[in-house]
Structure 1
């Protein structure tokens, strides 16, 4: 029997349920992604759902192997996240998390750009509450900036969809390719959510300020929906290969010197997205399979790492590497789960990252991009340094900070345990994941070349870390603020706004003085003083409204 209802609908209904029912019923929410996911998996492909809207036929649900793979992934992610959140008594996070997951599932099943736009904006709105829910001044400011940038992505998507409809006469989501103004607007919209270089700072700004549970939710959905859309609309575009290669490399330098360990993971997330973008740009079956397989694995192992750091934040109250260390003594289970996540993201054999990242690396060589392959190799070594070693080392080992917090709550441990089992299971038996991939696949992960190359890379990277650390050359964990491109909109734009406001105010004053001077020189104008005063008043009101708008935008950007 085919799945007949929209897969996103139960999540929105559950969000309403979570809002109106007593918080003690939160345990029942875990059943929503579990039952819905199992039904989706075993009942066959969902039925297509089309709705006629004036002259447009909206494809609310359109199904193929690519959308199904991401739908399965988002059900798994939501299930783990809800278990991780069970210790909370905050309705906002449950409501926002469920609606956020439903929006992501709706986006991957959308068959046209107008339907996608609706879920695209719902993704922005629902996810912002996971940042606001921390209820600190920093999180409120970061949430406002996050929401503004996400809405910008939605506006770009809508404008691109309108232009695309004008060009081709269809809103169907299909291969777009680069070559028109609309296509570059699509790339800009998707690039914001995929954290392209210079468009990435919303991620490193907002994710570390979200709640411990909120960051785990955030790491799973927004960026992966963007990867899904890039794979559907821009496969084989060479530009993405170079963008992806840049994404794999530049975050390493920030991650190595960053003190906030959740921010380290945020930069690491951009690094992993770069591998996916590279695979989409190459466009071969091997590369595309590698990208979506790595997206699948990244949700689980990056979520696991964010969960371990969230557990530390919950028990200790801060997450700065300079003030942690020695936590393995009282948080041994969390330490073990962190090591599993670190081994997975570092692509150790028998862990999930190895069986997907190597697909992209192999596809890069096959495509003849040898120097870009070297960049990915450098990025792989860098990821091992900042996520595979730095995160567990400085959080749980390193110097003894004297902190002796309790082990993470049981529900957090269960969620981390499920993610750890999946990391090891996929890494040990990759055919289970490979069978779900959308394109034909005959890749064998565990051949001698791939395995030995990766082991050598990991061994020499570990040796370099130990040597640098012993010599005192490894960047220490310092209480500092690292400047990224966000300084443009956090400092540059407000400054520009203030200057523009001063210019506008000066121009308005000049016009007023000019009016009085002309009135004094021409007596006849005095006869129409009432009319002139009314016109002047109207101009002043318009001017003050414009200044108020400018001031509002300036203050929002300065938050």
Structure 2
């Protein structure tokens, strides 16, 4: 029998609940203004709850069905992720104020709340609940585009994320059967079956190499606001989960290094600028995964700091491209250019986001990425360090230069449109201000990190670091200029680039079509046999029971007497022989 809910503590409520409840309420509010006011209010309520705990600890414990669900674990790691998720939810709400889509408002809030719930989850069952809720709610931000491509991409997205949840639950159950614990902490290990399945679940959501294609497939097909919201939560939640459960796992160093490098080549030739940002997102995730894999205090600080600032500057870049898509109707590089004349504010905000992701001094990316690079160097991972340096130059090329250059400056095509709506500009301004604030006043960021003592002893603005970074950035800019000047830079063409998913989608699609055809033939054959048997049996039954059938004929009295005598003899024999 299911036990009744028993809440041990009401004083400390997870910041996730007001956001999720706000989303449910939004679903039944027809009034546009009230719905938008609610979307702005719930992150503020979540922030109040985020400040509520007096000290690190586990709050919001619920006893249900013999399980203890820890809904609010408040510690330095969950604290910083929770804060940036709340900031992202608020900025996203401002950015979407112009959108009159009740479903988008509802699912946007539930998705953000589910992300917060997963970050503050103290056990694997609670994590699983919010893990799946992020998948189910976020897919509607893709389907919101209401076209066939978005519908198919959403189905693929949902399938892969449901698979991630299934692996998470299976791993948790196996681990609990082996250890008796549902704890979501550093005791997870890829050396055990349960731990490996959980690791794989996290890897899918983190877009590990060869598991990454859902990201580039789905994000560019999402709605204008949906892409911004999606960029903030799912993958960074996975980085958090890895940092919580698998810090110091060596294989993550090499997985992360590959993640930083391979998207560079795809992003250079990609024509869809939102897809370029999706590849760039993969690149940035790699830096965080490397930091988690190194596992030292400085490295984990680097992963947390990078995740914090990345959510903000990546959202800024997606917001700027969303504004372009709203006004022009496309974000294809081959069809854009010269927009700085009619969208100057958006162009400036895009440049700030580009400078941040490229790690220019005085911008947030500089002070965050420096922590990871320093930690990798300190631990002697020389080859990985060089890969990260290459990837840093690559991200400057495809996100720092390509995005603003082809959207706002190159090839003036005479596009003259209105500037982005006021609410979009306000959201971009807030994100841009935070990019500069944390780049200049980096101590405010460092003191929020999981190991603030280790961070506060690190100084990013040293002469060697500034000069080295500027040499890297200026060298990459010079190379880009030369390639463009002499016509060697890959031409922006109307094309669809092929990624590794082509292999399994191509052959998988063929295999599924063959299986479907064979099943169709088998079903048809079985149906034919059943019909034939049915017709034959039906004919025999008709011959026996129809008005002109055998049983309806007159039976001669002599024959009837013989059969009656025979049956009576059988009955008497059975009665005689019965004990």
The answer on 1:476 being equivalent to 2:491 is yes
Counterpart in the other structure of 2:258: 246
Counterpart in the other structure of 2:283: 271
Partner deviation per Cα, 1:68-92 (whole Å, 9 max, x = no partner): 1111111000000000000111111
What secondary structure, in the 3-state scheme, does the structure 1 residue paired with 2:228 have?
A: helix
Once the 2 structures are TM-superposed, how far is the Cα of residue 34 of structure 1 from its aligned partner?
2.3
Once the 2 structures are TM-superposed, how far is the Cα of residue 444 of structure 1 from its aligned partner?
1.2
Residues 165, 456 of structure 1: alpha-carbon distance in 2 compared, 3 angstrom cutoff: same
- Alignment of structure 1 residues 8-19 onto 2, 5 Å: 8-19=16-27
Q: Matched residues in 2 for 1:510 and 1:130: separation?
A: 43
Counterpart in the other structure of 2:99: 88
Residues 92, 505 of structure 1: alpha-carbon distance in 2 compared, 3 angstrom cutoff: closer
Counterpart in the other structure of 1:522: none
Q: Contact (CA 8 Å) 1:3, 1:44: kept in 2 or not?
A: no
Counterpart in the other structure of 2:64: 53
Counterpart in the other structure of 2:44: 34
Once the 2 structures are TM-superposed, how far is the Cα of residue 491 of structure 1 from its aligned partner?
2.2
Once the 2 structures are TM-superposed, how far is the Cα of residue 506 of structure 1 from its aligned partner?
6.0
Q: Given the alignment, which residue of 445, 450, 453 partners 2:465?
A: 450
Q: Which structure 2 segments of 5+ residues have no match?
A: 1-8, 542-579
Question: How many residues get paired?
Answer: 523
Once the 2 structures are TM-superposed, how far is the Cα of residue 41 of structure 1 from its aligned partner?
2.7
Q: Matched residues in 1 for 2:182 and 2:525: separation?
A: 50
Q: Given the alignment, which residue of 142, 154, 178 partners 1:131?
A: 142
Higher-Rg member (1/2)? 2
Residues 62, 428 of structure 1: alpha-carbon distance in 2 compared, 3 angstrom cutoff: same
Q: Matched residues in 2 for 1:300 and 1:182: separation?
A: 34
Q: Contact (CA 8 Å) 1:331, 1:405: kept in 2 or not?
A: yes
Once the 2 structures are TM-superposed, how far is the Cα of residue 39 of structure 1 from its aligned partner?
4.6
Q: Contact (CA 8 Å) 1:26, 1:86: kept in 2 or not?
A: no
- Alignment of structure 1 residues 115-514 onto 2, 5 Å: 115-175=126-186, 176-439=188-451, 440-441=453-454, 442-504=457-519
Q: Matched residues in 1 for 2:133 and 2:10: separation?
A: 27
Q: Contact (CA 8 Å) 2:14, 2:49: kept in 1 or not?
A: no
Q: Matched residues in 1 for 2:45 and 2:197: separation?
A: 38
Counterpart in the other structure of 2:32: 23
User: TM-score, normalized by length of structure 1?
Assistant: 0.90
Q: Matched residues in 1 for 2:45 and 2:530: separation?
A: 73
Q: Matched residues in 1 for 2:24 and 2:68: separation?
A: 28
Residues 444, 23 of structure 1: alpha-carbon distance in 2 compared, 3 angstrom cutoff: same
Partner deviation per Cα, 1:278-332 (whole Å, 9 max, x = no partner): 0000011111100010000000000000000000001111110010000000100
What secondary structure, in the 3-state scheme, does the structure 2 residue paired with 1:377 have?
A: helix
Once the 2 structures are TM-superposed, how far is the Cα of residue 204 of structure 1 from its aligned partner?
0.3
Q: Matched residues in 1 for 2:209 and 2:518: separation?
A: 32
Residues 451, 238 of structure 1: alpha-carbon distance in 2 compared, 3 angstrom cutoff: same
Once the 2 structures are TM-superposed, how far is the Cα of residue 502 of structure 1 from its aligned partner?
4.0
Once the 2 structures are TM-superposed, how far is the Cα of residue 503 of structure 1 from its aligned partner?
4.4
Deviates more, 1:498-507 or 1:244-253: 498-507
Q: Contact (CA 8 Å) 2:336, 2:406: kept in 1 or not?
A: yes
Counterpart in the other structure of 2:54: 44
Q: Matched residues in 1 for 2:350 and 2:255: separation?
A: 30
What secondary structure, in the 3-state scheme, does the structure 2 residue paired with 1:207 have?
A: helix
Q: Matched residues in 1 for 2:343 and 2:378: separation?
A: 44
The answer on 1:113 being equivalent to 2:140 is no
Partner deviation per Cα, 1:453-508 (whole Å, 9 max, x = no partner): 11100010000000011111111111001011222443221211122334456667
User: TM-score, normalized by length of structure 2?
Assistant: 0.87
Q: Contact (CA 8 Å) 1:3, 1:40: kept in 2 or not?
A: no
Once the 2 structures are TM-superposed, how far is the Cα of residue 2 of structure 1 from its aligned partner?
9.9
Q: Contact (CA 8 Å) 1:2, 1:43: kept in 2 or not?
A: no
Superposition RMSD on alpha carbons, in Å?
2.3
Once the 2 structures are TM-superposed, how far is the Cα of residue 38 of structure 1 from its aligned partner?
4.0
